[in-house]
Amino acid sequence: MHLAIVQTDPAFGEPAANVREALSLMEGTIADLFVLPELFNTGYNFTDPKEAALLAEPPTGPTFQALSGFAKKRNCFVVYGFAEKADVPFNAAALVGPQGLVGLYRKVHLYHKETTLFAPGDLGFPVFPLPFGNVGMMVCFDWLFPESARSLALRGADLIAHPSNLVMPHCPDAMVTRCLENRVFSATANRIGTEDRGGLSLSFIGKSEIVTPRGEILCRLGEREPGIAVREVDLMLSRRKSINEWNDLFRDRKPAQYERD
């Protein structure tokens, strides 16, 4: 299958324009699955919960309509991050395909000021079977918690789609370890640019990337420019958990020894 990561530079509070920008990058690329950044349609640096709630959308809102239309037209799938309007707001990611909404993930590990804006995710780490393999999602700061990727891998994920708005420098290299320790592919779609709002300035590091189950970085975008990259991958390679003739990554786990006293 062909896997694409999309790196954008959203303008805060302009969802229609940001969706158009993303689609303009995607239109010239053929892929089976596109992965877009966290909160790609709204921007990230909300000043308060009221502003986040104002820009939030239901899972089938305008952003879904645009991207599901693209997926239907191109017979492909798209993962993207957005602020989900619900009884309480969530920092969420959606997976859409030719038939509409496939699945939803709500960010479990909230970063920094997000803890004042969103509720922690309550859907766990679901995995969704697609024609080319099993796809799970996590969002940005989830990378720092090994349990996120491991939970997805244990549930059968072949690929971790990872919408992000990274400001710390460590994630691109850390995802090599996440892929190695779980023998899965990952697609981290990050953004670029700076948002200076409400006395808080955040600069985003780019470096969107695709990593293999053996920790190979198939592609990594730059730090300052929007862009898109696509690579052909065989997700079935993620199902080879043996390390050698004596060791198997999951069979050799010792869950009883990991328990805290």
Write down the pLDDT at residue 76: 98
Q: Read off the tokens for 159.
A: 């690929």
Query: Is 107 in the active site?
Result: yes
Question: Of the residues 38, 57, 195, 209, which is catalytic?
Answer: 38
User: Looking at the whole model, is its pTM more than 0.95?
Assistant: yes
Question: Of the residues 140, 171, 179, 209, which is catalytic?
Answer: 140
**Contacts within 8 Å (CB) and 24+ apart, 222-225:** 223/192, 224/192, 225/7, 225/192
Instruction: Return the SS3 of 149.
Output: helix
Write down the pLDDT at residue 153: 98
Question: Of the residues 21, 51, 107, 195, which is catalytic?
Answer: 107
Closest listed residue to residue 156, CA positions, set 182, 174, 122:
182
Cβ-based neighbours of 136, under 8 Å, separated by 6 or more: 105, 125, 126, 127, 128, 152, 155, 157, 159, 160, 161
Query: Is 38 in the active site?
Result: yes
Write down the pLDDT at residue 259: 84
Instruction: Return the SS3 of 52.
Output: helix
Instruction: Name the one residue in this structure whose structure tokens are 């969103």.
Output: 118
Q: How far apart are CA 249 and CA 89, in angstroms?
A: 37
Tens digits of pLDDT across the chain (261 residues): 999 999 999 999 999 999 999 999 999 999 999 999 999 999 999 999 999 999 999 999 999 999 999 999 999 999 999 999 999 999 999 999 999 999 999 999 999 999 999 999 999 999 999 999 999 999 999 999 999 999 999 999 999 999 999 999 999 999 999 999 999 999 999 999 999 999 999 999 999 999 999 999 999 999 999 999 999 999 999 999 999 999 999 999 999 999 876
Domains of the chain: 2-258 (3.60.110.10)
Write down the pLDDT at residue 161: 99
